[in-house]
Structure formats: C-alpha cells, structure tokens
Amino acid sequence: MNRRKTPSLRTRLALGYTAFFGVVLLLLGIGVTLTVRSALRSEMERELDASGELIQEDFDATDTGLGDYFNSPAFLQRTRPLNVEGLESPSLYVQAANLAGEVVVTSASLQGQRLPLDATARTTALAGHTQLSDARLGDAPVLILVQPIRNNQQIVGILQVAQPLREINRTLQLLSFSLAAISLIALLAALRGGAWLAERALLPVGQVASTTRQIVRAEDLAQRVPTTPGSDELAQLTATVNEMLERLELLFNAQRRFVADVSHELRTPLTAMHGNLEILRRNSARDPQALDLALAAMEREINRLVRLASDLLLLAQTEAGLQLRREPVALDELVLEVVRDLAPLTQGVTLLPDVTEQIEVLGDRDRLKQSLLNMAANALQHTPPGGRVTIRLAREHTHAMLQVCDTGDGIADEALPYVFERFFRADKSRSRAAGGAGLGLAIVKWVAEAHAGEVSAQSTVGQGSTFTLRLPLASEPGALVHP
C-alpha cells in the first residue's frame, strides 16, 4: 500500500503560519466590516432623527393642519431628491398618515410609492414612541423612522421618514472586496515570507541532520555540528547534539579499547597454552619433569583466564545494575582476614595490618573484601622484596577510611589519573608478568561508588603509593548501598 508523502517541516511551518495569518485577517475583516456598517447605520439613524425633528419643528412653526402642511409646495420641495445627471444621490423619503393609519401625503421622492406601515409601528407611534426598522421599498432596502406628529403636544398623525440603504450596502461591498483583495495579497506574501523564515530558522537543523548523516556514513564520531550563536532553542539543540556526539565518541573509543585490551589479554595466555601443548605433543610425555612444568604453566594460564572472565563478568553485571547486599560489615575483621589470605603471596614483602579501632559500615561484605584484596594485591605486585605494604583502618569524621600503603616503585604523575580505568597498567610489562589484567582497581572504584563512597590514589615515584577507600559509617544516612 502506497503511503502518502508527508510534507516537509518547512512546508508545514509555512502553511501553518499562513493559515494562522489568514484566520487573523478573516477576523480582522469581519470586525472592520461590522464596525463600518455600525458606524454608517448610526450616522443614518442620526440623520433620520434630525430630519424628523426638523419636520416636527417646521410643522409647529407653520401652524397649519396636517394635510395642508404636507401638501404645501414648500414641504414637497424640501423633500425632493437632488437631480444630478449621471449620479444617484441618496433621497429622503417622507410619508404622513392620520390617526387611522391612512396615508395623507407622500413626498415627491417616493415617486408614487408608499412606505410600509404595519400595525406594530402604528401602535408604537400612537403611543408616543419612535421606532426604527428595516423595510423594503419595492426592491430596494430602506431604513424607516416612524414617529408621532404632535400639534400642541397632542398626537395628530404619524410621520415616516426613510432613507435608502443602497449606499451603505455599496460601501460595504466595496470594503469587503478591498479587504478580500488585500487579504489575498497579504496571504501570498505571508506564505512566501513564512517559507523564507522557516528555511532560515531550520537551517541549523538541516546542518545537524547533514552532519549526522556524514557521521553515520563515515563512522567518524570526531565531527561536530556547527554551533549556533546565542542561547535560543536551536543553540541548545546544537550544543546538546555535540555533547551527545562527544559522549558517543568516548563510549565508542572505550569500547574499541576494551575489545582490543580483552583480545590482547586473551592472546597471551592462549599463546602460552598453545606453546605448552606443542611441548607436550613433541616429547614432554616421556619426561615427567617437563610434563609437570608444562601442566603447571597451563594451570597458571587457565587460572589467569578464569580471573579475567570473572572480573569481566562482574563489570558487566555492574553496568546491568547488579544489586548489592546491605548488611553490617566489621572492617577491622575484614582487614585482618585479607592479611591472612594474602600472607602466602607476599614473596619477601612485609604485609602488616594497622587497625586502631573497631569500625562498622553497611554494605556487601564480599564486594568490600574483593576491593580490599585487589588494592592489597596490586600493592604487593608493585613492591619489590624487602618492601612493606600496610593496610590501615581509621575513622575520618563520618567516614571509614581504608588505606593500602606500599613502599614500591610508585606511579608517574601523568598515569595517576587513569589507574582506576579498565585495563590500564602503569607498568604494562611488569603487571602482565605478574598476571594482572588491569581490572582490579576498576572493580575497586565501582565497589566504592556502589557503597556511596569514593576511592583515590596518591603516589611518589620511587617512594611508594597510597590507595584510599572512604565509606560512610553505618550510623550515617549516606551509608546506603547504591546499585
């Protein structure tokens, strides 16, 4: 099934702007027309009222009868239409009736026609009131004023004064035509101007789309969208897109580096295992000592792969929102337990606990022990025989402080900010020989943040390093475990 093509955003904005402008023009035209019509009718009503009053005053001044006054040539002359050749001038229609409603006289401007006088208008006039109403004189619309005629304050007849509405109607028609023509021109200008404004306004959006397409096609996350000056919505859009691209670039580079590091870490033990298998296949099966050495080497590499897989699995679980237990953990007992576990691996390095008091936190005991083991094992790997590694526990205001201090080689200043990143090794050759994959301190950082704490490192080259893990005390509100 064919789907109808959706108009572009530029077209929709231009059409929407034009439609809105058209509605405004329509309402404005209706308002202007009604205002002009009301003003013209009001002016005509005032003229009819003035004519009626003048006729009443003239009638009073003549002191004649009703029939004599209206049949007077002077009155007929006053109500005769102007005869201007080639022009149609508005006329004043006058008609008088007696109390019975019988027409006494009509002005010459009526040309033998009679103004309609219905029972309601007649009753209103005899009651002493004035009435204005629309009527038709033949085929022409007129506005009629009906009022009583008085003689010495006594009603003696009914006066009807009317004017044709054709001039008002013509004026309104001309006004409507003019407004329609002006509105059409204004709408065409609004459509063109709206399209131009939409194109100018959406230009940065087009640049964002173009740059994004180039990034997708070229797979180059280093590109950025041209920034828009100012602080409007488009400037915020370009800034947000550039920020997103920067984060995507960091994530992409981190993923690429992660895959490369994992591949490198896997290649080393697999290569070693392959070499040992070659030795076994050739002649080590007949030599028990060579066989034991090859199997021991393969076992070490397998253990290394197991540790690597376990660390990677743990880091993957942390990104998936691994839930930690929340229970009281005695850190003094944890320090002593870690010292006992690592005692067989010291290889000439003195490993000492420094615990001055009992301190308790809320958290996952296994993860806290793993982080402390990672810090201590990292210190032992980088401390030569005869050196010293101290695991210190102390209270620092509202936090417990676990410190692992060594007298090893130290870490260069330029490498110190990256020691908690995955697969980072300040001394790549030495740490790989010792079996490290560069994931231990990354796990320490995650454990610290998951327990609402923090981890930091200070080091001096040639003197040693100090890794500090700070955790909220169990009595503090911040001692909650965050997944």
Q: Each residue of 159-209: pLDDT tens digit?
A: 999 999 888 899 999 999 999 999 899 989 988 888 888 887 777 777 777
Distance CA 218, CA 408 (A): 47
Supply the pTM of this predicted model: 0.49
What topology does CATH give the domain 233-316? Helix Hairpins (1.10.287)
Helix (H) or strand (E) holding 402: strand 399-406
| Per-residue pLDDT, 271 | 72
Residues 6+ apart with CB under 8 A from 335: 353, 355, 372, 391, 393, 402
Q: Give the residue extent of every domain in the chain.
A: 9-172, 233-316, 324-472
What is the per-residue pLDDT for 308?
64
As a whole number of angstroms, the distance between CA 419 and CA 465 comes to 12
pLDDT at 85: 36
pLDDT over 70 (residue 442): yes
Percent pLDDT > 70 in the chain is: 77
CA distance 167 to 175: 12
CA 278 to chain centre: 64
Distance CA 165, CA 135 (A): 10
For 324-472, CATH gives 3.30.565.10
- pLDDT tens digits, 81-131: 444 333 334 468 888 888 888 888 887 788 888 889 888 888 998 888 999
The pLDDT score that the predictor gives to residue 433 is 42
As a whole number of Å, the end-to-end CA separation of the chain is 49
| Averaged pLDDT score across all residues of the chain | 79
State in words which class domain 9-172 has.
alpha beta
Greater pLDDT, 281 or 413:
413
Under DSSP, the state recorded for 435 is: T
Residue-wise pLDDT tens digits, 18-59: 889 899 999 999 999 999 999 999 999 998 888 888 888 887
* Per-residue pLDDT tens digits for 295-353: 777 777 676 676 666 666 666 656 555 667 788 989 999 999 989 988 888 888 999 99
Instruction: Using DSSP, state whether 364 is helix, strand or coil.
Output: coil
Instruction: With cut-offs at 50, 70 and 90, classify the pLDDT of residue 263.
Output: low
Of 349-353, 362-366, 467-471, which range is least confident?
A: 362-366
Q: State both tokens at 255.
A: 């993923």
**What 3-state DSSP class applies to 203?**
helix
What are the CA-CA distances from residue 441 to residues 1, 287, 304, 320, 400 (Å)? Answer: 58, 41, 16, 19, 19
Q: Is the pLDDT reported for residue 377 higher than 90?
A: no
Euclidean distance between CA atoms 146 and 11, whole angstroms? 59
